[in-house]
Structure 1
């Protein structure tokens, strides 16, 4: 009887060990990044800017990695905004880049679901680098467009107030006023 008491736990342990499968580990590996011109073609957005904030994305449903907020200086592709938000991993084996707040970077980003669904993301497989190490890229890409918080590039029609909307609003008020007057007259006629 004593023998059976030992056999059962040992058997269960052996079965667990036989069927146990370690979790798959994923490590980042990528080939040498393409030349700057090809990287520009492959990316959805290319810009330079300062990291304003790095937020760790801990949400199970929303992905993982870091959400990085940039104040954009210049853009070559994919944005005219003065602020951009991208996602990346934590660094190391998940292909992420360890961005530092206050540092300037040249960023190549692509639409991806890698870290968070429906975002622009960058990895060590892109040519993203600190601006101080991006001389080759900046020479190949050229000047880029200045991006600021003002809307200098918009034409006059786009930035002016839509007067036609104001006119429709006034006409609507007039019809409401006439409707109330008509109801008042009709009510007085019944009395």
Structure 2
């Protein structure tokens, strides 16, 4: 009985490790059809702002980027915003602590995102855009979205919970067998 339970336990560990670490990924080449003018990008974007990246959080399927907003040209009023993107060849190469001029679009789920086909650019290289955009307005609503980046990842804890249950069952069965003898 103990050998059987040990075998089940070992198989569970192996399968859990395999399931959590091995996943085929699909990648697509990013192709930007055209470089849009500042005016066209402003028109097509749901939000245009400049800000500094405070924090970035990467998980398996997406990256959350928290910006401290300095100036706004379209679509926002808050002092912080979280952009979400999926890791791909179209993703921007954002760096924590850097300032960017961001042209963001709503992905349909009230989530803002930006990619390399948008005019999003480091602020130090955005002189042309800033000249054409004019002076932005300051955020009017002070918010703190740092907790938006923190989340409880149940998928990560499932194998550990399974192991704990198996250990408890193993100990319970062993004590039960000892009491029978």
TM-score by length of 1: 0.57
Unaligned runs of 5+ in 2: 1-23, 144-181
Aligned 8 A contact 2:77 2:141 in 1? no
CA distance in 2: counterparts of 1:122 and 1:134, whole angstroms: 16
- Give the match for residue 36 of structure 1: 38
Is 1:109 the counterpart of 2:109? The answer is no
Higher relative contact order (CA 8 A, sep 6+): 2
Q: Give the corresponding residue for 1:27.
A: 29
Which protein is bigger by CA-based radius of gyration? 1
Q: Does 1:100 align with 2:95?
A: yes
TM-score normalised to the size of structure 2? 0.60
Matched, 1:77 2:69: no
Which 5+ residue runs of structure 1 have no aligned equivalent? 1-21, 59-63, 152-191
The alignment covers a number of residue pairs equal to 120
Distance (Å, rounded) in 2 between the aligned partners of 1:80 and 1:36: 21
Q: Distance in 2 between matches of 1:85 and 1:139?
A: 26
* 57 and 142 in structure 1: CA distance in 2 versus 1, 3 angstrom threshold: same
CA RMSD across the alignment: 2.2
CA distance in 1, matches of 2:137, 2:57: 27
The answer to whether the 8 Å contact 1:65/1:96 transfers is no
TM-superposed deviation, 1:86: 0.6
CA distance in 2, matches of 1:40, 1:84: 18
